Amino acid sequence: MSLQRSLEAIKGLHPAPLWNYFVKLSQCPRPSKKEEKAIEFLRAYAKENNFDINVDNVGNCLIKVPATPGYENTPTVAIQGHIDMVCEKNKTTQHDFDTDPITLIRSQDGDWIHADGTTLGSDNGIGVCCGLALATDKDVVHGPIELLLTIDEETGMSGVMALKPEFCTAKYLLNLDAEELGAFYVGCAGGQDTTASFDIVEEELVDSSSFEQVSIMVSGLKGGHSGIDIHTGRGNAIKLLARTLKHVLDEVPSDNLKVFYIEAGSKRNAIPREAWVNAYVKKDKLEAVKERVAAFEKLAVSEFSVPEPNLKISVGPVESATTSTKVFASEFLSKLISVIFAVPHGVFQMSPVIEGLVETSTNLAIVNTRDGKIEFCTSQRSSVNSAKNYAAHSVASVFALSGADVKHSDGYVGWQPDMNSPLLKLCKDVYTEKYKATPEIKAIHAGLECGLLLETYPNMHMIAYGPTIVGAHSPDEKVRIADVAHTYELTSAILEAIAKSQ
């Protein structure tokens, strides 16, 4: 059923081979660190087309594509993307990302492809499939091509970190993981995660028969990419949940509301769209709690009327009731709320060099209740390494002052722009000649793999671009159909220009 719907969605779209490959890739469950099905698909693709494929010890794939006859001695070009995807779904969507395919849907206006209540995986599946289609297109003139397809880009970039210098031999690299048509990207942010863990302080609920279990939930937010969308003023579900609880507890004494579970977000690189607590509420105070939640919802809806028109804060039944009468101690809940208020989220600093570019930011991404602990996950980004470290330690300081066990990930470096790159000049010339327009030259506040690639391949010239993708890292993700064809044709022209420039 999923396959049939997906094929119907792409019917008549150009270039047909690219979209057909994207449907096939979408049939392969490919969460980060679980890309085995996608690797099997790439092995089958290489075998079908008589291409050599090399899979390294972590799962990165390199597919070697022979040059168009007569261009064998021109520079090798790598077309690069990552095969994993962010796995986010709406709370009401029934989907197992470990086993279920992604279902493609064409928008009613016919201009976009999105998924059925989940992330689409156009980030970066469209870029990957663009390379696969170009490699088999007999009308494309090119020198030797290496399709460099990495794993685990979305949860730490462990794939690109594991690349060996001898794995890829290309002189030029086209990264197809950018998401804005008409722009060439020459720089990106580095990143780091900061996590914190609190031991839950519990107490026994007295007279549990006089309480009712409820869920207080923030939902309907846009979420989005924690780099690309961090400056848009979108709501953070964790922050809004803490504000909701404080608004309730300011009027309803804590003895009448006892939280026993909290959860929010699921991906470190996605702004959290939903957050909720499960709690015992004194039956004779339930209406008062609902009134206070409704009152704060009214305030929040007014505050976020432009960026979050679908914001909802509600009180409802828990999905599965607990028989335990262990609840968070009132002082511990108060501390959690204060921590969420205090920990930074959003833009730290705008770039003083590139107008409109976020230089440094942090994302309060995940909170969950596990094995007697409350765990927080945050993610910091910056194009300046020292500023990234400052943001990470600022976040860590809030948690440490509150008594949490704090850890930092190793992180990854950013990509510093090279405005004198010969590849940049060539791509600008191709774009200008083909479209009679000047492309934007930009940096992005997101973690492209180019910075890490340069550490392994310091003499490689790189550029990043791609079709317009909106809502990446959220179930609202969609890719503009016309831009996919544009990206394909532009890449074809760049490959030909490189082959003929020697």
For 205-246, the pLDDT digits (tens) are 999 999 999 999 999 999 998 998 999 999 999 999 999 999
In 3-state terms, the chain is what percent helix, strand and coil (to 5)? 30, 30, 40
3-state SS class at 134: helix
Task: Measure the CA–CA gap between 184 and 443, rounded to whole angstroms.
Answer: 8
Average pLDDT over residues 313-326: 94
User: Which tokens belong to 10?
Assistant: 């792409």
Domain ends where: 345, 374, 408? 408
Whether residues 216 and 295 share a domain: the answer is yes
Best mean pLDDT range from 38-47, 91-100, 259-268: 38-47
User: Which tokens belong to 297?
Assistant: 């919802």
Give the pLDDT confidence score for residue 409 in this predicted structure.
92
Whether residues 381 and 418 share a domain: the answer is no
Give the pLDDT confidence score for residue 246 in this predicted structure.
98
Full residue range of the structural domain in which residue 333 is found: 192-408
Q: Exposed e or buried b for every residue in 295-327, given b needs 16+ CB within 10 A?
A: ebbeebbeebeeebeebebbbeebeeeeeebeb
Give the pLDDT confidence score for residue 30 in this predicted structure.
98
pLDDT for residue 502 is more than 80: no
Give the pLDDT confidence score for residue 306 in this predicted structure.
97
Cite the beta strand spans of 225-329 per DSSP E: 257-264, 275-282, 312-317, 326-328
Task: Measure the CA–CA gap between 154 and 31, rounded to whole angstroms.
Answer: 9
CATH number at residue 453: 3.40.630.10
Q: Which of 35, 84, 179, 180 is catalytic?
A: 84
Place of tokens 């390199």: 62
Give the pLDDT confidence score for residue 411 in this predicted structure.
84
Give the pLDDT confidence score for residue 262 in this predicted structure.
98
Whether residues 395 and 436 share a domain: the answer is no
pLDDT for residue 447 is more than 90: no
Task: Measure the CA–CA gap between 428 and 433, rounded to whole angstroms.
Answer: 9
User: Which tokens belong to 479?
Assistant: 């890719």
The answer to whether 46 and 149 are in contact (CB under 8 A) is no
Give the pLDDT confidence score for residue 1 in this predicted structure.
79
For 320-333, the pLDDT digits (tens) are 889 999 999 999 99
CATH number at residue 210: 3.30.70.360
Whether residues 255 and 389 share a domain: the answer is yes
Place of tokens 């297109």: 137
Is 153 assigned a catalytic role?
A: yes
Whether residues 233 and 153 share a domain: the answer is no
Whether residues 242 and 176 share a domain: the answer is no
User: Which tokens belong to 447?
Assistant: 């973690």
Whether residues 18 and 81 share a domain: the answer is yes
Q: Which of 88, 116, 152, 153 is catalytic?
A: 153
pLDDT category of residue 373 using cuts at 50, 70 and 90: very high
Whether residues 176 and 49 share a domain: the answer is yes
CA atoms within 13 A on the CB side of 225: 21
Whether residues 292 and 201 share a domain: the answer is yes
- 365 Cβ partners below 8 Å, 6+ apart? 226, 265, 267, 268, 269, 270, 271, 272, 377, 378, 379
Whether residues 463 and 345 share a domain: the answer is no
3-state SS class at 224: coil
Angle at 323 between CA 318 and CA 328, to 5 degrees: 75
- 302 Cβ partners below 8 Å, 6+ apart? none
Mean per-residue pLDDT over the chain, rounded: 96
Task: Measure the CA–CA gap between 398 and 301, rounded to whole angstroms.
Answer: 28
Domain ends where: 374, 408, 442? 408
Alpha helices by DSSP H, 216-327 = 237-249, 286-303
pLDDT category of residue 155 using cuts at 50, 70 and 90: confident
DSSP 191-240: EEEEEEEEE--EEEPSSGGGEEEEEEEEE-----BTTTTTTS----HHHH
Domain ends where: 375, 408, 441? 408
Record the pTM: 0.79
Task: Measure the CA–CA gap between 35 and 349, rounded to whole angstroms.
Answer: 35
Whether residues 235 and 324 share a domain: the answer is yes
Tally the residues of the chain.
Answer: 502
pLDDT for residue 143 is more than 80: yes
The answer to whether 257 and 279 are in contact (CB under 8 A) is yes
User: Which tokens belong to 136?
Assistant: 């088999």
pLDDT for residue 79 is more than 90: yes
The answer to whether 79 and 491 are in contact (CB under 8 A) is yes
User: Which tokens belong to 348?
Assistant: 């730290």
For 87-135, the pLDDT digits (tens) are 999 878 999 999 999 999 999 999 999 999 999 999 999 999 999 999 9
For 170-201, the pLDDT digits (tens) are 999 999 999 999 999 999 999 999 999 999 99
pLDDT category of residue 416 using cuts at 50, 70 and 90: confident
pLDDT for residue 45 is more than 90: yes
pLDDT for residue 355 is more than 90: no
Dihedral of alpha carbons 318, 322, 323, 325, sign: negative
CA atoms within 13 A on the CB side of 241: 33
3-state SS class at 150: strand
The single-letter code of the amino acid at 185 is Y
Going by their DSSP bridges, the two strands 312-317 and 405-408 should be labelled as unpaired
Whether residues 82 and 170 share a domain: the answer is yes
Task: Measure the CA–CA gap between 404 and 397, rounded to whole angstroms.
Answer: 10
Task: Measure the CA–CA gap between 31 and 121, rounded to whole angstroms.
Answer: 10
Task: Measure the CA–CA gap between 51 and 127, rounded to whole angstroms.
Answer: 19
Helix (H) or strand (E) holding 79: strand 77-82
Average pLDDT over residues 127-153: 98
Q: Exposed e or buried b for every residue in 415-433, given b needs 16+ CB within 10 A?
A: bbbeeeeebbebbeebbee
User: Which tokens belong to 87?
Assistant: 């796995």
Number of domains in the chain: 2
pLDDT category of residue 266 using cuts at 50, 70 and 90: confident
- 254 Cβ partners below 8 Å, 6+ apart? 330, 333, 334
Within 10 angstroms of residue 3's Cβ, the number of other Cβ atoms is 14
Give the pLDDT confidence score for residue 57 in this predicted structure.
97
